[in-house]
Amino acid sequence: MKILRAVEPMREAVRMWRRQGKTVGFVPTMGALHEGHLSLIHRARVENDRVVVSVFVNPTQFGPGEDLTRYPRPFRRDAALCRRAGVEALFAPRSFYPLDYQTWVTVETLSQPLCGRFRPGHFRGVATVVLKLFNVVQPDRAYFGQKDYQQWRVIERLVRDLDVPVTVVGCPTVRDKAGLALSSRNAYLSAEERTAAPLLARSLRDAGQVLKSGQGVAAARRAARAVLGRIGNARVQYLDVVDPFTLADPRPDGPWLVAAAVYVGRTRLIDNRWVKP
Ligand code: AMP
């Protein structure tokens, strides 16, 4: 496996594969890899001749006061996991934004609800870095987790609107045995918080059942909040029921996406659940 620390060598590796007629799958990450990331890598491995993973903690998607500086960066472990998973190239640019960087990509409407309400500029940072990464790696397919549901939808739209020649593949959320969605940020949780955190997934499941039974969005949100109330030091940032495609208000007869962001202690966790009528 090659580790590439700058744009030009990464481009050169892909140019060589292209000359050989190989297809390229790409998994963008911020590192601190876990089974969720590995599920994307395995899928890319199956569907492409060559797999590129990027590890880059993208500063432009963090707001002031967020966890940019304390975000975990276990690079040697990440590289070992990628090597073991059969990745051909690990792209980990030392710097990715030239001085006086000025160009931004905004997916307007889809970036506004849910996390967008509380993390202004977040999806602008995500869309911009992902387009930059696509321009360097030029993959045939790129893999995104549905755990970050809004991010996946934003990238799909970016690719469609700007005619980016890549197929975006959304992959199911990987969870631990208790149902907690795997996340690099779970490492911040204390033992006690970790025990309570699966209640987030549980709350979304309960809301889903209420929606399926036809009791409506308000009742679903009440059901979810009742479960979240059982997490000792939780603060709900949002708990919304939206249309899974537009992320706007859902149709009364569904389908629905139940999505939440909850602070458990100092750690912000997100999760979502697609509910069919
Ligand atoms: P991150 O390193 O958190 O930026 O995530 C990189 C990619 O991995 C994104 O497409 C995430 O949606 C995806 N991902 C993170 N956690 C999970 C998970 N538990 N299940 C599936 N995909 C995930």
Is the domain of 103 the same as that of 205? no
Report how far ligand 1's centroid is from the alpha carbon of 142 (Å).
Answer: 12
Is the domain of 10 the same as that of 133? yes
Alpha-carbon gap, residue 181 to 172, rounded angstroms: 10
Return the pLDDT at 40.
98
Alpha-carbon gap, residue 151 to 153, rounded angstroms: 5
Assess if residue 177 is contained within a domain. Answer: no
Is the domain of 22 the same as that of 139? yes
The domain containing residue 224 runs over which residues? 184-275
Whether 37 is catalytic = yes
Is the domain of 85 the same as that of 132? yes
Is the domain of 188 the same as that of 150? no
CATH of the domain at 218: 3.30.1300.10
Residue whose C-alpha is closest to residue 36's, from 171, 184, 187, 182: 182
The total of structural domains in the chain comes to: 2
Assess if residue 114 is contained within a domain. Answer: yes
Assess if residue 178 is contained within a domain. Answer: no
Report how far ligand 1's centroid is from the alpha carbon of 200 (Å).
Answer: 17
Report how far ligand 1's centroid is from the alpha carbon of 214 (Å).
Answer: 32
Average pLDDT over residues 21-26: 98
Is the domain of 123 the same as that of 23? yes
**Closest C-alpha to ligand 1, atom 13:** 145
Q: H helices then E strands: how many in the chain?
A: 9, 9
Give the pLDDT confidence of 33-59 residue by residue, as tens digits: 999 999 999 999 999 999 999 999 999
Q: Which residues contact 276 (CB under 8 A, 6 or more apart)?
A: 212, 254, 255
Last residue of a domain, one of 114, 142, 171: 171
Return the pLDDT at 154.
98
Average pLDDT over residues 222-240: 96
Predicted confidence band at 232 (pLDDT cuts at 50, 70, 90)?
Answer: confident
Assess if residue 179 is contained within a domain. Answer: no
The ligand 1 atom at the shortest distance from the C-alpha of residue 32 is 2
Return the pLDDT at 10.
98
Last residue of a domain, one of 107, 138, 171: 171
Is the domain of 32 the same as that of 70? yes
**Closest C-alpha to ligand 1, atom 12:** 145
Is the domain of 129 the same as that of 12? yes
Is the domain of 9 the same as that of 137? yes
Is 243 exposed, middle or buried, given 0-12, 13-18 or 19+ CB atoms closer than 10 A? middle
Give the pLDDT confidence of 168-220 residue by residue, as tens digits: 999 999 999 999 999 999 999 999 999 999 999 999 999 999 999 999 999 99
Pocket of ligand 1 (CB under 6 A): 29-30, 36-37, 39-40, 144-145, 147-148, 171, 173-174, 181-184
Instruction: Determine which one of 34, 37, 42, 122 is catalytic.
Output: 37
Q: What are phi and psi of 135, to 5 degrees?
A: -70, -30
Return the pLDDT at 7.
98
Is the domain of 132 the same as that of 198? no
Average pLDDT over residues 102-118: 98
Is the domain of 193 the same as that of 165? no
